[in-house]
Every structure is written in structure tokens, then in C-alpha cells.
A and B are shown apart, each in its own frame.
Chain A
Amino acid sequence: MDGILLSIRDLRTYFYTEDGIVKAVDGVSFDLRRGETLGIVGESGSGKSVANLSIMRLIPEPPGRIVSGEIIFDGEDLLALTPREMRRIRGKRISMVFQDPMTSLNPFMRISRQLMELTQLHLGHTKRQAYAHAIEMLERVGIPDARMRVDSYPHAFSGGMRQRVMIAMALACEPELLIADEPTTALDVTIQAQILELIKRLKRETGMSVILITHDLGVVAGMADRIIVMYAGKIFEIAPTAKLFATPANPYTKGLLRSVPDPARDAGRELYQIPGLPPDVARLPPGCPFAPRCALAQERCRREFPPFVQIAPDHHSLCHFATEVYAESVREKEAKGASDLNPL
């Protein structure tokens, strides 16, 4: 194997609404390696969920439609599969967890049954095997007294515990790819820390790949190997985590990074703010979709769609001035490095 588990090429997923065509995902391409954790960040509406629902072939149709692209999973184009073939992949080889666990859990069915159905279907477990496996999965995700609680209904669990149950369901068939869509957004930081630790541990144990969607740059900083920054249905920047944080090459990424309060830098100062609102993707301006909010925008930005500039083989940025922005980041990093050495 060449180590690539998933390869997405020029994916476009549009919604045909009364307001016009919502180009929720518009020409997205990336690769995911086996065992890799890829973070996807961006503000709401940037297309993070739609991109991943497209991989799962869960786009509601109508109004949605995958209008073009390829989603090659382990050598097979998922977009060419019949619904039936897709069902054999979904939940078995690719699983998804969501912000709200109740989107995956049936409130009227015991946890044991929900877990057993999965492994009886996908792994051919007998009832007895499936029951034992259900308990084992709950233990693995850290549910105390799993043996006693396996027959409970979802409402008997707290929010954090439900999230664990959903992860147990997602991982029941040892998928090769786990897509986690804002899995901790609704949780307290303490519970978030527990769930992120859990995902890390399970990933180590199984070697699966993870796509982690979040709007919290802090979450991906500690979890992801590489990061994609999305804006208006497009990839604005993609880079290994350390590079993206240290030397971003896109004004939007820089803006996002700077608007998170950092006590060392921002105490007593006005917080950096990106002006304006996230865009309405049914009414994008010509040229760069970020131009109306970008401090660097020139006439060209408002007129011409920007190129996807290669900064390094593993680092790309969608911007007319990507090279300049990158150079500025490098200068800032060097200046900061110098000031770290000399506190005066």
C-alpha cells in the first residue's frame, strides 16, 4: 500500500435552494494517510460537515447533490458505489460521530441492542458474541460498570457518557476511518479533555485514521498531524500542524489564530478581530471569497479568484499574496524567537 487511505479530488457538493445554489463544498481535494489525524477547522457554514457527509454519502438529496469529484477510499471510488455497497462500508470501515450523540443513538432502544445490531450485521457476530463485544466496547470507552449499564437506554447517561457510548458504536467494527464532527463542542472543557484523550488512546490502539472537525484551534493543535482551514466551501490553507500554527501563509488563518485571546499577548489590549461576517455561500463575491474581510485585499483580490499557492510540498495556501503572507509569518516567528531568548 502507498499509505494513502482516502483521496479526495475536486469534490463539489451543492444545495439547490430557493435562495440560489449554495456551493457548500466547492473544489476540495486532499489525501489522508493511514493512521493520520487530519483536523478541519473553519467558522460555521464553511462546509466542514458537508464535506464529510459527502464522504459518507449522507447528503440529503434533494436539495443537495454531489456534482463532481472523486472520493477514493482504499482504491475504490465511493461515489461510484451502489447504495447497498455503500452501506457495507458505512459504520464498518468508515464511521462518524457527531456533536449531538442523539443523532446516532436511538432513544427507545437499549444500548446493548444498538451495539449488537452493528456487529451482527457487519462482523457476523452471534447474539452471544455481540453481547460480549458490546460490554467490551463500553469498557474500552471508559463507561464505569459497563456490564450493569449495557442494557440501559441512552437517557440514563450524562452528556459526556453518551458521547462515549456513541464513540463505542462508531468503533464497534474497528473502522479504518473515524470522522468526528465537532465531537466535543457541546461539552464542558473537563469532559472535552476526557473525550479527546479517549480518541487519542483508541487511535493508538487501533491505528485508524481520524478526521477531526472543529472550530476550536486549540483542539486541533493537540490532536492533529495536519490541518485544513476551510472558508466558503474552499480549502484556504493546508499544512502540517506545527507549520500552520508557526508560519501560516493565509490571511484568514492568521486572523483566526489571532482572534483567540492569548493572555501573554492580549492582556489589556484590544483583541485582534476579523471584521464583518462569515460569508453567505449562496452569494459569494467574485474574486476571493475572503476579500471583503481581508486587511490585505487589493483590487486584484476583488476581481480574480486566487491561486492555490505551494509554499512547500506539504503546505498550500489559497491567496494572491500567499508568499508574502508566509514571509511575514516567518519574520514574526524569528522576531518572537529572538524575544523569547531575550526577555528585555
Chain B
Amino acid sequence: MWEAISSQNASSGSPKVPPSGDGRDLLLEIRDLRVHFDLGGGTLWDRITGGSPARRVVKAVDGVTLVVRSGETLGLVGESGCGKSTLGRAILRLIEPTGGQIIFRGRDLARLSREEMRRERRHLQMIFQDPYASLNPRLTVRDIIAEPLETFGLTRGLETEERVRDLMRKVGLSPRFIKRYPHEFSGGQRQRIGIARALALNPKLIVADEPISALDVSIQAQIMNLLKRLQREFDLTYLFISHDLRAVRYVSDRIAVMYLGKIVELAEARAIYEEPLMPYTKALISAVPVPDPTIELTRRRIVLEGDVPSPLDPPSGCRFRTRCPYAIAQCAEVVPPLVEIKPRHFAACIRISPDEPQIERVAAGEAPGLKRAS
């Protein structure tokens, strides 16, 4: 089966979405989502000289189509600057999307009025990397966790207090600390406060943006265990954003790999790690250091050259081509669509196809994916 689910096919009608073959309901369906930041016309130099006033637009998210199923954890990985946070925030409309649809429980969030969106946000919450920056330092833990409850008028008076205590216990914080301020807690405990607040309204979906990146190894393990436990207990769905591939592998059911605004590979977590198809994914995984000296000393690492190119001026065609060891001339010409290469394993590369998914085995100069794409 061939199913392209990227924006490149959007021109020919709405893009198709992979079937939810495992029987879980779709909770969220993102179609051709775009978030562009318009930085205004030209550079300062252009403005002074009156030279080409080309508008400078960062296409941080550029045609993303994804589904998230009820109760799953979808991991989102990629180097920094690839658009992961922008995608996560756009789903909650903390950033306004430029185009596309965000269908959540049957409604397109992108089309809701501010007031409607505010009400819907009950079901969509976010956890941030730096819990300190995201918690109001002048509020006590009680007020931080109670705020969403009070805003939505869900609880009153003593009931609020009881619910806050209950949430604190759920995330492993002693209710004795209810009157304390964020700065009196360690990083890991602050992250627990952020999680309690996110849980307060019984959300369906939590977007966790690098929730463990700032924490010590031992605390990372504690927070990952907590998130997993809460997922079972509250039937939560997570979009788990991280640049730590070991952590993403551990918590995710499926993983989407992002590069310069596009999803380039999408599959079950095990498949992404054990049988990655995209040269980019292979390089990412091979770059992760393994805490095992015998493996480290014997394995061959694919070291990617250079940095992620500027999103202001991304490469034509496949955006990865400037760093890809397998790039050929055609890679500059065609934007590769995200295609189902193996069952439920999608990749965006013109040099692979369902007949030959191993790029290492494709004959020099061949682009088997190109014929099917056109």
C-alpha cells in the first residue's frame, strides 16, 4: 500500500492519513499544518540600499500531517531548530498556525474562535522544559495548581484545596509543601508541579516539550516513570518532544522524526531504532552515545557534516540533501513525499521504495522512489 501523507500531495485534494490499523481511536489529526514566521521584508542592508526586498519567512513547520491515537505516546525528535516546539505549541494554538487543520475530537482547532479555543484548552495541556520559567514565581504551589481549576470554575473553596492536595500526591509531592513557592523546590520537583498543574483539568492530550532535558540522569528516570504511570492512570495521550533519543525510545509507542519543518520518518518506536530507513534518522541514532564501552569502541558512527541549514533559506528539494551521504542530483529537484515504505513505516526519500527500502543497496544514481512519486 502506498499512502503519501505529506503536504506535497495536498495540492491534489486533502492529504490521506494512515489508517488507524491498531484499533485505537484517533484523538488528533493534523493535516498539512504550516507555521511560518514572517520576519518582515529584506535585510537591513536591503532596506538601506533599496535592494531586493524579499520577505524573509521562517517556515518553522511546513506541511506536517500526523495522527495521534488515543492513549498512545507519539515521540517527536530532530535537531534543535527543526520546528518541534513550534509544532507542539501550534497544536494548542499558543502559536497561530499559518495554514492547515488540527482536528481534535472531531473539531478543527485552527478554526475555533479565541473563546471556543479557550474552552477547548481544558483537554489539551503542555509541560515545558524549564519548569521554573513556566511557573509564576510569586504564586504558591497551591495557587499554581489551583489556577486552572478556578479559571474553569470546576472546584470551589475547600474542594479546590482537596483537589490540589490530591494532585500533589499523584505526582509524588508531599501536600505539606502546598504553601511553598517554586524557588524552594529542586528542578525535578518543579517539573512535578508543572505536571500536576497540567493534570488539574483532566486533559486528554499533553504536549510535553523536552520535559526531562534540564534534569539530572537520576531525576530524568523518575519523571519518565511518573509520566508513564500517570498515562495509565488517567488514560492520557502524549506528544513527547525531545532531542534525547534514548528517552524518546523508552517512552514512545511511535516516533516522528522532523527535519527543517517536515516529518521525514514515522514508524513504531522499535522500527525507528532497529530498522531506520532515512539517512537522517540513521545518522541521528548512530550519534547517540551508548553507555557500553564494548559497543562504543567497535561500532562505526555516521558523523553528519555541518549544521542544520538556516530555515530562512532551506535547501530546495529534499532539505536534508546538503548533509546526506546518499544525495544525488535529483534530490535537489523533488520534495520527497512521506510514503509508506513498509507496513506502517513512512519515510520521505526519493532513493528508497517499498521494493528496496535499504538505501545502502540502491544502485548508484538510482532514485526508485521518484517514479512512484511523480
Interface residues in chain A, defined as those with a beta carbon under 8 Å from any beta carbon in chain B: 43-44, 158, 160-161, 188-194, 196-197, 215-219, 221-222, 241-242, 245, 255-257, 259-263, 266-267, 270-275, 277-278
Is B52's beta carbon under 8 Å from chain A?
Answer: no
**Which listed segment binds A: B53-61, B104-112, B246-254?**
B246-254
User: Contact: B293 with A241, CB < 8 Å?
Assistant: yes
Tell me whether A221 and B289 are in contact (CB under 8 A): yes
Highest count of chain A CB atoms <10 Å: which of B270, B292, B295, B304: B292
Q: A189-B243, A261-B246 are in contact. Are A278 and B218 (CB under 8 A)?
A: yes
On whether A274 and B221 interact (CB within 8 A), knowing A190-B79, A193-B301, the answer reads: yes
Residues on B with beta carbons closer than 8 Å to the beta carbon of A221: 289-293, 295-296
Interface size on B, residues (CB 8 A): 41
The 8 A CB mask of B264-288 against A (1 = contact, 0 = none) is 0000001001000000000110111
B contact patch SS: helix
Interface hits, B163-196 → A, CB 8 Å: 186, 188-189
How many angstroms from the CA of A259 to the CA of B218 in the assembled complex?
A: 6
* Contacts A43-B217, A259-B218, A274-B221; A242 near B293 (Cβ below 8 A): yes
List 7 interface pairs A-B (beta carbons < 8 Å), by A numbering.
A188-B79, A193-B303, A217-B291, A219-B289, A221-B295, A261-B246, A271-B224
Tell whether, in the assembled complex, residue B220 and residue A277 are in contact, meaning their CB atoms are under 8 Å apart. no
Let me know if B307 and A161 touch, CB within 8 A: yes
In chain B, what residue has the closest Cβ to A215?
A: B217
Neighbouring B residues of A189 by C-beta, 8 Å: 79, 243, 245, 284, 287-289
Which residue of A has the minimal Cβ distance to B224? A271
Q: Is B134 an interface residue (CB 8 A)?
A: no
Give Cα A242–Cα B194 distance, bound, in whole angstroms. 39
* Contact A261 B289, CB 8 Å, known A43-B217, A222-B296: no
- Residue B113, interface by CB 8 Å: no
B residues less than 8 Å from A43 (CB atoms)? 216-218
Which residue from B221, B301, B304 sits with its C-beta under 8 Å from A273? B221
**What's the dominant secondary structure at chain A's contact region?**
helix
Interface check B20, CB cutoff 8 A: no
Residues of B within 8 A of A (CB): 79-80, 186, 188-189, 216-222, 224-225, 228, 243, 245-247, 249-250, 270, 273, 283-284, 286-297, 301, 303-304, 307
B218 lies within 8 A of A273 (CB)? yes
- Cβ contact within 8 Å between A274 and B288: no
A186 to B296 Cα, complex, angstroms = 21
Q: Which of A44, A190, A219, A257 contacts B304 (CB 8 A)?
A: A190
**Which residue of B is nearest A274, CB measured?**
B218
* Residue from the list A261, A262, A277 in contact with B224, Cβ < 8 A: A261
Residues of A with C-beta under 8 A to B301: 193, 197
- Chain B residues, Cβ within 8 Å of A259: 217-218, 220-221
Residue from B189, B225, B228, B246 in contact with A260 in the complex, judged by beta carbons closer than 8 Å: B246
Given A44-B216, A158-B307, A277-B219, check contact A260 B294 (CB 8 Å).
no
Set of chain B residues within 8 Å of A278, measured between Cβ atoms? 216, 218
In the A-B complex, the 6 residue pairs with the closest CB atoms: A218-B289, A222-B296, A261-B250, A259-B221, A217-B291, A193-B287
Give the chain B neighbours of A218 by CB distance below 8 A: 246, 288-291, 296
